[in-house]
Amino acid sequence: MAGRGRSVKHIEGGSRAIKGFLFQFDRTILEILQHPGSEVTFEQEEDIQREKYYIQVKERGKSKYHASAIRKAVEHLFDLFLENEARRFCLYCHFGDKEKLRWKPIAGDLNGIFGGDNKRHGHEKIGAFCSNFVVEFSQDYEAMFEEVIQQLKSVFQLSSTDIAVMYHAVVRSYLLDLAVKKAEERKASFSDIDVLVKKVRMRVSMDGYQELLGKDKYEKALHKMYFTHTRPNIDNFERLFVVECEGDNNAIELMQVITQISNMYFVKGKSPQPFILLRNLDVTKLRDIKRGLIDKNFMFNDGTWFDGDKVRADKLFERNEEDAYGKVKFLLSEEMLQERKIRKHFDDIYDFYCREQLCVNDFSGRHIEIPVCSVSQTLRILKK
């Protein structure tokens, strides 16, 4: 029984730690939503930081408040203040016996928190620190979650709580992913969250349309929206088609996608060869696809002269429509798009994605994101 008791206590301790961590991230989300013009860092010098405003977060569950329970936290914040008196501080905490309250301690309060034998007791800077310090007794974990949900609904004008809960899960997951990165990468702004929400919103909308219309009508609608030429001559644009490959992709279907794109957009002397990027495709399978295209006398340009050669970007991106080599051009890695001069080459990017959209920063052209469930569906959309 004793061993079992220790096990339960260990589990309860782990549960409290997880709750505390999630409580902190919900407070981070609120900070981002409430200050859209600022970048918020977290898990760095303090739990949360916005410019010169530092927030330490404590979630104490059902524990009762007493001065010694916040002593270490206040000591730490006071020491940070002594390093730079322009900083402002907040101790954001929850105790089981405290109502939601904003408290501005005075010097006597802080001396009581520090205790008589503490080196900080009676310090000449305590009064100055009080001017820059506040304690916020917060609501509990569940109420904090509800507040974040309501903020998301309000800020992004969401129609239901269910959608807000889904967005909350995505945003919290995004922050958790950042939390394990290098310290300098643990930061986010409202614009980051806004981009994330827009991507989720588009995915939800597209999935809803597909469910509402049925696959066939959905695919026809996308074809009409993006791939039906309304004029006799197609625009003389540089186009990149990104196809996310999932699992055991059928090489024949991928070859059909490539030839279909070429047939639709390559007109010698009028419209250049489209670029193709096959994301997450195994190198061996890509080699098989290239071999299969050559066997069918379908030539292409990937910027190399032989297998294992380096990519010669100048040859790949030169535009010579009267003497164009190949019917398509391959972009061999999405890392190439990190180069601004390569991004600037394209007018349109068509992004067929199954799990994750292509991340393209600082792109001035059209980036059309099309959620699909498979390469087969990509082919059907192109052919409808």
The predicted model scores a pTM of 0.58
Strand partners, 152: none
Walk along the chain (384 residues) and give the pLDDT tens digit of each residue: 344 444 444 444 445 667 778 889 999 999 999 999 999 999 888 899 999 999 999 988 888 999 899 999 999 999 999 999 999 999 999 998 999 999 999 999 999 898 877 788 888 899 999 999 999 999 888 888 999 999 999 999 887 787 788 788 889 989 988 988 898 999 999 999 998 888 777 766 666 667 666 788 888 888 888 888 766 567 788 999 999 987 667 899 999 999 999 999 998 878 889 999 999 998 889 999 999 999 999 999 988 887 778 888 778 887 765 556 789 999 888 888 888 888 888 999 999 998 888 888 888 888 888 888 899 999 999 997
Give the Cα separation of 279 and 285 in Å (integer): 12
Query: What is the 8-class DSSP label of residue 86?
Result: T
Where does 84-160 have alpha helices with state H? Answer: 107-114, 126-131, 141-155
In the block, residue with structure tokens 């916040």: 70
Helix (H) or strand (E) holding 32: helix 2-34
In the block, residue with structure tokens 């002594």: 82
User: Listing from the earlier edge strand, what are the strands of the sheet with 187-189?
Assistant: 101-103, 133-137, 88-94, 53-59, 48-50, 39-42, 187-189
Q: Tell me how far apart the terminal alpha carbons of the chain are, to the nearest angstrom.
A: 68
Which residues make Cβ contacts (< 8 Å) with residue 134, sequence separation at least 6? 89, 90, 91, 102, 103, 104
The one-letter amino acid at 159? S
Strand partners, 371: 353
Domain ranges of the chain: 2-200, 215-383
Nearest residue to 147 via CA among 134, 164, 169, 160: 164
